[in-house]
Amino acid sequence: MSDPDWYEDATIYSFDVKTFNDSDGDGWGDFRGAIDRLDHLDDLGVDAVWIRPFYPSPLRDNGYDVADYYGVDDRLGTLDDFREFADRAHERGIRVITDLVFNHTSNDHEWFRRAREDPESEYHDYYLWTSHVDDAHQRGNIFPEYEDGVWTYDEIAGKHYFHQFYGHQPDLNVANPAVREELYDVLRFWLDQGADGFRIDAAHPMLMPKGHEATTLDETDLGESIELFKEMRRVVEAEQSDAVLLAEADDEPEHLDYYFGDGEAFHLQFNFVMNAHLTYAVGVKDTWPLQRAEEILPDVSEVGGWVNFLRNHDEWNLLKLPEEAFEHAREYFGDDAGDSWIFERGHRLRLADLYGGDRDRIAVAHSLLFSLPGSVALQSGDEIGMGADLSLPEREAVRTPMQWDDSANGGFSAAAPEDCYNPVVDEGAYAYDRVNVAAQRDDPDSLLSRVEALVAARDACPEIARGDYRALDTDHKETRVHRFDHGAGDGTDEDGTVLLCAHNLADGHRKEVVGFDVDPETVEHVVGDGGHYVAKGGVTFELDACDYAWLRGEKR
């Protein structure tokens, strides 16, 4: 596992240990349970797992309120369990990416406890304080429905502390060199435990103006803001040459290339722009959002790569859509009661909810996802079409336990339902007795089988990571055909190939004819049920509702 370019076209599977699989019957998923389910990930064909926070935490924000960066929450296992999980994953060729939350800690963290108790302590300056809150920098909080602002009074310290997220999550002072060294040590520690890289949570807020004077890192004597992430990369690559840093940087499109630091900072970045547009496009049966996303995204091909996704474990953030589409998506995809809308920016619904449980539409969305340049992130449960539970608070609606089979608690846990970390979905169209892995495992037409086929197809097509990509003109707004040209003439010694990926988002049949300058005798059908006819110089696609087809051939 020493390929330094492994991340350029990886399939990354995201799960929360707490809700993945419970090995000891206490209602909480754990690393022993995750080890028991590695075969599922192996069968799915993923290249890496991204594990959401598993550190000791009061869990007031699903573990993103970290109380100790160096441990495993004892409800989820031990450090030995993590190391064994990493070893067993590596045996299957699966890398392990962990989630690190460096913008803030829990107010239960020892650093904060010591900071509030002793203003002379070195830890006091690990955070940002003001004794004159009326004169301090003010701005909106990231959770506007739940927080009035960015300052909270601490009775022990007798001051207000700065926080961009919940009030129990004080921001770290990342302009403090001592804090930076602490963060670098955390990176080294988890690499030593078996991690292969890190998703850095809230990378954008880490660089935002902080504290009483709204100071940015650029205004300190530590160099440009990006130096923080460049040094993180130097640290991880010094420890492990093929380790990766993945940014959660939900910034404006024109600023996103900054986080790659000219190829010296993050290796990868979640593509929130494509996420909003791609998921919207499939839902409204129109390809213009895909075109817009590609127009407004910066070209980062020389400095890093995107990780594309359809849904994640938070709300589906619509802020990157144009205003008219934003308002349309708010109404078009929302639930009847209006309970899905949150934080004034998105829906707390899963992909299956957004598409009304239409398996074919979910599948064509995945085909589009897997056929785009970059890497792919899959949210645990989306491969079988799990749904949300809007009775749960906030983002917990999309964080219900994995549905493995039709036994109690969906096979997640042997505990009483009320003892589970979150209840399994047990009512409606997405209940565990209707939607589960076991029911789909041996069904060639199931969503799971179709996603597995797409993962395999992507692995078989190096054109996607290393080819020259462009969208083709089509006759219908609901159809999308794009191609990759690889080899022969691009500086490699390989035979030249062309990969065509055709998709129909309409509810009815569509026909498209496009050029295909390959030898017809060499054409290979890669994946998809879409009809096609190859003739000299071109191909005719006959695509029924939500059909897709990938074709590959050797250049003439």
Here the contacts of 111-119 (C-beta below 8 Å, separation 24 or greater) are 111/182, 112/170, 115/157, 116/154, 116/156, 116/157, 116/161, 117/156, 117/157, 119/157
CA distance linking residue 238 with residue 227, whole number of Å: 16
Give the separation between CA 109 and CA 114, rounded to whole angstroms: 9
Residue 30 near residue 74, CB atoms below 8 Å: no
Q: Please give, one letter per residue, the 3-state secondary structure of 354-417.
A: HCCCCHHHHHHHHHHHHCCCCEEEEECCCCCCCCCCCCCCHHHHHCCCCCCCCCHHHHCCCCCH
Q: Assign 3-state DSSP to the chain and report helix, strand, coil percentages, each to 5.
A: 35, 20, 45
359-370 and 272-284 helices, crossing angle to 10°: 140
Q: What is the length of the chain?
A: 556
Name the burial class of residue 110, with classes exposed (0-12), middle (13-18) and buried (19+) by CB atoms within 10 angstroms of its CB.
Answer: exposed
Could you tell me if 339 and 393 are in contact, meaning their C-beta atoms sit under 8 angstroms apart? no
Task: Report the distance separating Cα 358 and Cα 125, nearest Å.
Answer: 52
Q: How far apart are CA 425 and CA 160, in angstroms?
A: 41
Q: Which residue in 394, 392, 294 sits closest to 341, CA to CA?
A: 394
Catalytically annotated residue among 248, 251, 315, 547? 248
The tokens describing 139, both together, are: 């701005």
Instruction: Please give the Cα distance from 404 to 41 (Å, whole number).
Output: 13
Residue 412 phi, psi dihedral angles, 5° rounding: -70, -40
Residue 300 CA, distance from chain mean position: 18
**Chain-centre distance for alpha carbon 18:** 17
Q: Are 503 and 367 in contact (CB under 8 A)?
A: yes
* CA–CA dist 122, 107 (Å, integer): 16
- Gap between the Cα atoms of 446 and 526, Å rounded: 18
**Element of type H or E holding 111:** helix 110-117
The active-site residue, picked from 16, 73, 81, 201, is 201
Q: Are 425 and 400 contacting, i.e. CB atoms less than 8 angstroms apart?
A: yes
DSSP secondary structure letters along 65-106: S-S-TT---TTT--HHHHHHHHHHHHHTT-EEEEEEE-SB--
Three-state SS at 6: helix
Answer whether 315's CB lies under 8 Å from 395's CB: yes
248 in active site = yes
User: Position 15: which residue type?
Assistant: F
Which are the catalytic amino acids?
A: 201, 248
